Each structure stands twice: as structure tokens, then as C-alpha cells.
Structure 1
Amino acid sequence: MPGFKFPNGVTVELIKGDITEVEADAIVNAANSYLEHGGGVAGAIVRKGGWVIQEESREWVRKYGPVPVGGVAVTSAGKLRAKYVIHAVGPRCGIEPIEKLDDAVTNSLRKAEELGLTSIAFPAISTGIFGCPYEDAARIMARAIRREAPGLKSVRRIIICLYGDEAFNVFNRVFNDELREYKTG
């Protein structure tokens, strides 16, 4: 499995699989602003983790309002292996600037740090129904991680969990290019 290690010990690994099966303190959900989890990664998280995740999401929106693009909200993870779900709102390509994906990744990492978590797993945010190309999303995610990882204190492990061969192959190539100086194998 492709891996990268920063001088401060933070590791980044790419895996192919189902994010609802990943063992991490938090998994990131590719969410919409209203935290309605009907399809894609969000739907899978609620199906596997339980309706409590949707209920907590609706409560969050009632309390704080819609999550802005690039912003995050946190709920429990229900029956998932994770402790938390960090709901990150990525951009809808062609509607919001794809650069907002950088904010979604950065804010997810900072929220994990604020919660004192040691591991976080990301999907390919904004590449599903939000329509962003794998190549662009991978480059933005890799650069955000490269910038943020050296400053992380509690987060030690960042997992990029990709569903399917095409996503995995594109992300693997882009991460190898963007993080080559930290490659471990």
C-alpha cells in the first residue's frame, strides 16, 4: 500500500476499499451543506453507522445552520468503527470553485486535531455526484495534506480511502507526484 511519512512522524496511506470499514478515530463524510445523507459516501455511512448519524446531522443544522462549502460539522459515528464522522462539504464542480476542496480537507484535519484524534480517513471528496475530476481533487487534497501535516500534533495517521480502481490509480499517481519526497515504499 502506498505510503508517505513526514519528518514529524505523520503518515499518509492510500487504500482501496469502503470507508465505512476503515479503523480510524474519525472518518470524513463527503457531505452537502444541509447534512442530508441520501446517497454516495454519505448514504453508505448512515446505512452502516445507523440513523443516529442522520439525526445528529439534522440537529447540527438546526442549531448552527447549513455548513458552508469548505466547512465541517462533527457527529458521532454510530455503529461504525470510528468515534466520529467529520462531515466536510466539498465544492460542487461547475458551481463552486474546486479550490474550496482545500478548505474542506484543511478544516477536517484541524477539527481532528482539535478533538485530539490520532487518525482520520478521507474519501475522494467532491468526486461523486459533485462531479469533480479525480485528478484535480487528488492534487488539491495532496497539497492541503502536504501543507498541514508538518503542523499536526495529535493526528499521526491520515488515510485516503478510495472506492474503485480508477480513483485509486489516479490518486496514487498524483500523491506519488505531490508527496514524492515523503514516499516510504
Structure 2
Amino acid sequence: MKISCVLGDITKIKVDAIVNAANTSLLGGGGVDGAINKAGGKAILEACIAIRNKQGGCKTGEVVITTAGLLPAQHVIHTVGPVWNGGNKNEEQLLKNCYQNSLELAKKHQINRIAFPNISTGIHKFPKVKAAKIAVDIVKLNPIVDEVIFVCFDDENYRIYRELLANDG
């Protein structure tokens, strides 16, 4: 399995699936969620509404899959990252679940190349180093896709991921 990181915009990455840091309503939001919905067009939101009508929203740590609409990817895997509350509300396990469940859903849908954003490190305030370590560890423990790209929107996350990946060889 190839693991890499890039500094850039996840909506421009050409892979089989990108992961969206969604909210529990699946109705769009800010940050990466807003960018994906805007760039992907109405097909993504319509697919999320259909899922919501069928099963309700998406709980923290869980995943659903939709079309990628106008994006260069074929699918969007939506996962709901935890809000950081000091580490006492099972946040680390919930974040692990986001990555683990995304990878398992990718395998189920025969997705070989997947791109992840830095889940929960924006408005949800998850400590960036801790979140990156969880992400890299879970991906390495689950070599079930051919390629994982961590797409970092900011320089700080990019430096963290680059260092983690370089140190592990």
C-alpha cells in the first residue's frame, strides 16, 4: 500500500474516493464539507438527503457513501468526526472509527485509491498531532486499499503528516 500526503484541495484530487468530514445531518456545512458539496454540485447533497430519508443522519465515527457528482473522484465517503472535548468523551476511538470505517467501506465498494482530509482538526479542534498519528496508524494497520493520500489544507497539518510518514519509512 502506498501512503502519501499532499498540500492542497481535496476536491481536485483524482482518486476513486475522497473522504468528507461531514456533520451528523449529512446536509452540508463549512470547511471541507462545504467545499466538497460546492465543488461536487447538487448530486452529492441529493444523495445525502436520500440516505438521510432512509436511515436518518450519520453518527459520529460512522460512514456512508455517495456519488462524487462533478468531482474528479467517483465516490465520496462521508464520515462524522468527533468534536474535541479534552479527550474525555471517547474522541480518540471515535476518530479511529472514522478512518477504519472509511477504509472498510472503500474495500466493500472495490475502491483502491482513497484521499482523506484532516478529520476533526478544524472547527472540531482535535489536536492536530494526535489526529494525524491516529490517521496514519489506522491506515497502516489496515492495508486494504492500494493507495491512501492525506490531503492537507494547511501548512501545519502538511508538516505533521510529512514528518510522521518520513519517520516510519
Both structures adopt the same fold (TM-score exceeding 0.5):
yes
Q: Which residue of 1 aligns with 2:2?
A: 11
Q: Which residue of 2 aligns with 1:114?
A: 108
Output the amino acid matched with 1:114: K
Q: Deviations over 1:140-165 (max 9, x none)?
A: 1011111111xx1xx21111000121
Q: Which residue of 2 aligns with 1:102?
A: 96
Output the amino acid matched with 1:69: T
Q: Percent identity of the aligned residues? A: 37
Separation of aligned partners in 2, 1:135 and 1:35 = 27
For the pair 1:163 / 2:153, whether they are aligned, the reply is yes
Q: Which residue of 2 aligns with 1:132?
A: 126
Instruction: Name the SS of the counterpart of 2:135 in structure 1.
Output: helix
Instruction: Name the SS of the counterpart of 1:99 in structure 2.
Output: helix
Q: Which residue of 2 aligns with 1:146?
A: 140
Q: Deviations over 1:36-59 (max 9, x none)?
A: 212100100011110221121121
Q: CA RMSD in A?
A: 1.2
Q: Which of residues 17, 33, 36 is equivalent to 2:27?
A: 36
Do 1:139 and 1:175's aligned partners in 2 also have CA atoms closer than 8 Å?
no
Separation of aligned partners in 2, 1:49 and 1:170 = 28
Instruction: Name the SS of the counterpart of 2:160 in structure 1.
Output: helix
Separation of aligned partners in 2, 1:57 and 1:63 = 10
TM-score (norm 2): 0.94
Q: CA deviation at 1:98?
A: 2.7
Output the amino acid matched with 2:72: R
Separation of aligned partners in 2, 1:131 and 1:59 = 30
Separation of aligned partners in 1, 2:164 and 2:81 = 19
Instruction: Name the SS of the counterpart of 1:98 in structure 2.
Output: helix
The count of residues paired between Structure 1 and Structure 2 equals 166
Instruction: Name the SS of the counterpart of 2:91 in structure 1.
Output: coil
Output the amino acid matched with 1:122: F
Structure 1, gaps ≥5 residues long: 1-9
Q: CA deviation at 1:96?
A: 5.3
- The farther-off stretch of 166-175 and 44-53 is 166-175
